[in-house]
With several copies, the nearest count.
Chain A
Amino acid sequence: MKKINTAQLKQLVEAAIFVAEKPITKQQLKESVLSEFTVADRTLSKVINELMLDYQPRGIQLIEVASGFRFQSLDALSPWLSKLWQESAPKYSRAMLETLALIAYRQPITRGEIEQVRGVAVSSNIIKTLTERDWIKVVGHKEVPGRPALYATTKGFLDYFSMSSLADLPNADAFENMAERIESDSTLKVLNEAPSQ
């Protein structure tokens, strides 16, 4: 194993994150571009932190998302940068966003459970679109009659929304509290079953 000095390491890591087609993890860096060098985890983390700081004042930023590190343009520049593309970014319906939010905050969740909270049927189209976008996936089946699919969000979802984990979801704790309150309140649960039948 060869040694590499910090300046060279920084250049190599920087270039690798830039040219990689997808976000790249420290592990992937070590297994590819750094495979022939001895690099301590601490050194690698330090170099990445330095890069993050280096780019802070620039037009692009180094951030960590669920599937690794990537450079992306500055949020504030989007009104002008979007002019580089003919088509504007797709807008998503409230039905789609509410379904996605429920899957994100309450995963794993069945379609029936989503419908119960939203009070309306979830169209197959929404599930299909979310699946095709690689934002949600089936992670199992609930052991109740009909064995309905349980949905969860993917790394692709976190990447797309610039998050590195579900903890980055806005107001994650509000949801947590609500869920706990509902579960602890058994009387409500009993009532719950009466009208919806």
Chain B
Amino acid sequence: MLDTTDMPSNGSNGAELKNEELTNGEKQSQVPVQQPLPLAFINGEALIEKPEDLFIPPDALEVILEIFEGPLDLLLYLIRKQKFDITVLPIADVTKQYMEYVDAMMALKLELAAEYLLMAAILAEIKSRLLLPKRSDESDDEEDPRAELIRRLKEYELVKQAAEDLDEQPRLERDVFNVAVSTSSNVVPIRVEPNVSLAEVVLAFSQAMKRAQAFEHHTIAREALSTRERMSLILSLLNSTDYSPLEALFTVEEGRAGVVVSFLAILELMKEQLIFCIQAGPYAKIHVKLGSHEEN
């Protein structure tokens, strides 16, 4: 018969409530979650023998049976409840009780996982092997047929304990919380600009020029680079309001070649009307300024 007094609780309120009903008000002094095995030692024994008069509401039984995490969990519970030593595993008793629970599950039409039936078969097999008379020619060191089941039970017990330990480990969002500190308003993300190699720039220029030549009839004149650079430099030196003396645009230290480059740049800029030159009279100093639309 079923004895539901010391069911392990899965911590859900429903199950705990039902448990209390079932024990006819008997106080459950143990907290089952923290301790794996002690329940059966408190008030189990008195009820094991005579559970017949115990009224079990069907839905309550259902809740209780559903809290087992599988056949190993159920077996472990039965063993601990009876204060059996796991290492001696009284197969006959445990099998009988196990089958009672399985029958109850079937009666309640619980979705009975195949694992429970498989375990029933394993128990029956072990039982039959233990009942068989030992043949004299068999070696003495033959393994106890219970050994494998005992090993699995011990291993499962360890996992069960580990799961409980893990559940008690300080956990984010439950026991500890992440600290969120804002940055002061002048913290701005730093943008890392992509790397460019000089070869890429040169190649891009060649490609652009090649394409241009393909669809343009006139060839694009290429001034010497130095002239174009000097044009940029001169433009940046001048402004459109004040005139600067022309000689300020030449750097004597550059030598003749440098002066020629500057001169070519000035001519090119004049041609493109980017700068204006004025001369007050013959042999007077020449002054330059940036071209501007108004004067044009």
Contact = CB atoms under 8 A, between A and B. Distances in A.
Interface in B137-174: 143, 145, 147-148, 151-152, 154-156, 158-174
Most chain A CB within a 10 A radius of its CB, from B147, B148, B165, B179? B179
Contact of B228 (A60, A106, A176): A106
A71 B203 contact: no
A88 B194 contact: yes
A160 B172 contact: yes
Interface of B: 10-11, 69-73, 113, 115, 119, 122, 125, 143, 145, 147-148, 151-152, 154-156, 158-184, 186-194, 196, 198-209, 211-212, 215, 220, 222, 225-226, 228-229, 231-232, 235-236, 238, 272-274, 290-293, 296
Contacts of B228: 105-108, 166
B103 to A, nearest CB: 19
Interface of A: 15, 18-21, 60, 70-75, 77-78, 81-83, 85-95, 97-98, 100-102, 104-108, 116-121, 133, 137, 139-144, 147, 150, 152-153, 159-163, 165-167, 169-176, 178-179, 182, 185, 187-188, 191-192, 194-195
Contacts of A140: 235-236, 238, 274, 290-291
B205 A98 contact: yes
Contacts of B159: 98, 101-102, 105, 117-118
A167 B225 contact: yes
Contacts of B125: 195
Nearest to B145: A191
Contacts of A159: 172
B148 A152 contact: no
Contact of A82 (B122, B174, B238): B174
Given A143-B296, A170-B198, A108 B232 contact: yes
A172 B179 contact: no
Nearest to B210: A176
B161 A166 contact: no
B235 A97 contact: no
A104 B166 contact: yes
B179 A166 contact: no
A78 B186 contact: yes
A171 B161 contact: yes
A161 B212 contact: no
Contacts of A73: 176-177, 179, 181-184, 187
Contacts of A162: 169-172, 176
A62 B68 CA distance: 40
A18 B257 CA distance: 61
Given A92-B167, A140-B290, A152-B236, A119 B205 contact: no
A87 B192 contact: yes
A176 B58 CA distance: 42
B205 A19 contact: no
A20 to B, nearest CB: 8
A74 B190 contact: no
Given A19-B179, A70-B179, 18 more contacts: A18-B180, A60-B179, A78-B176, A94-B204, A97-B201, A98-B208, A108-B232, A120-B115, A133-B193, A159-B172, A166-B225, A167-B226, A171-B162, A172-B206, A173-B206, A188-B151, A191-B145, A195-B125
B129 to A, nearest CB: 11
Given A86-B190, A187-B143, A19 B181 contact: yes
Contacts of A101: 159, 162-163, 165-166, 201-202, 204-205, 208
A191 B226 CA distance: 39
Contacts of A143: 272-274, 291-293, 296
A146 B183 CA distance: 46
Most chain B CB within a 10 A radius of its CB, from A72, A81, A95? A72
Given A60-B181, A118-B211, A143-B293, A169 B225 contact: yes
A97 B229 contact: no
A70 B178 contact: yes
A117 B156 contact: yes
A78 B205 contact: no
8 contacts: A72-B178, A78-B175, A81-B177, A98-B204, A100-B196, A152-B235, A160-B196, A176-B206
A70 B182 CA distance: 8
A30 B274 CA distance: 51
Most chain B CB within a 10 A radius of its CB, from A105, A161, A166, A187? A105
A159 B178 CA distance: 11
